[in-house]
Amino acid sequence: MSPKNPPSPTFSQLYAEHFRTRGALLLADATLILFVFFAPAILSIGIKIMATGEVSPAFLRSAGTIDGLWLIIAVGIICLDSAGKLLAITIYGWREALGKKP
């Protein structure tokens, strides 16, 4: 008796498997983009509106400082996220090249 090979997956099964993985990555990136761009945009609009009203210059300076710090944090998060993804891809490639299953 020869062992039977399992049936090869259908196109829809392969598509569903890869779609879930890529969909999760896209959702994570969309959340990161929301964190990075939406909050500073709202803060910048608020600063512009407050600048037209009667708000103390010290308060506007503080709001500008918070906006700048948020930008630094956001860029740092994007850099760490990108570096983490590159590291994960590299490790996955090494494992695959060595013949180990991830």
Q: Does residue 88 lie within any of the structural domains?
A: yes
Half-sphere exposure of residue 42: CA atoms within 13 angstroms, side-chain side: 5
Mean pLDDT calculated for residue range 48-70: 89
Residue 85 lies in a domain: yes
Domain around 83: 34-98
Give the chain's end-to-end CA distance (angstroms, integer): 32
**Rounded to whole angstroms, how far apart are CA atoms 40 and 61?**
15
Percent of the chain's residues with pLDDT above 90: 5
Q: Residue 7 domain-assigned?
A: no
Q: Is residue 91 part of a domain?
A: yes
Give the chain's domain count. Answer: 1
Q: What is the pLDDT of residue 65?
A: 92
Average pLDDT for residues 11-36, to the nearest whole number? 75
Q: Is residue 8 part of a domain?
A: no
For the ranges 9-13, 33-37, 53-57, 82-86, which has the lowest average pLDDT?
Answer: 9-13
The yes-or-no verdict on residue 48 having pLDDT over 60 is yes
